[in-house]
Amino acid sequence: MEWIVNVEGKKNQRVLIRFEPQAEEIYFVAQYKVLMSDFALPLNDKSRWVDFASESHPMDIDLETIQDLIGKVLDTMKDRLITYEDLSKSFAIIKTIAVDDGTKPDDEEVVK
């Protein structure tokens, strides 16, 4: 069983709450919606929800603990989003790299 908790004012962030009765666990997963332009996704995908943080708790849980766990995964995701955005900017700049494997290129003369 799953529930979605949307983050007010942030359409690209949410918390997925999944109850696994046989495991007697509740999972809290902070997710971020990654766009096709930001990430290498299959051509038929325009966007995808990616897990950025997760916590779990036994099924015996109260409302205060639920609120605390939602806050905790959102805080963790916030920190990780900074790294993701930095990486995304860096890889947007890097288009092609050359690796020197010690062999002479076919179409260039090597000057020593």
3-state secondary structure 7-69: ECCEEEEEEEEEEECCCCEEEEEEEEEEEHHHCCCCCCCCEEEEEEEEEEEECCCCHHHHHHH
Domain that holds residue 50: 2-93
Instruction: Confirm whether 70 is domain-assigned.
Output: yes
Q: Is 109 part of any domain?
A: no
In this prediction the pTM is 0.76
In a domain, 105, yes or no: no
Query: 111 in a domain, yes or no?
Result: no
106 lies in some domain:
no
Q: Please give the Cα distance from 73 to 82 (Å, whole number).
A: 15
Answer yes or no: is 6 within a domain: yes
In a domain, 104, yes or no: no
pLDDT tens for 68-83 read 999 999 999 999 999 9
The answer as to whether 63 is a domain residue is yes
State how many domains the chain has: 1
pLDDT tens profile 29-55: 999 998 766 555 556 667 889 999 999
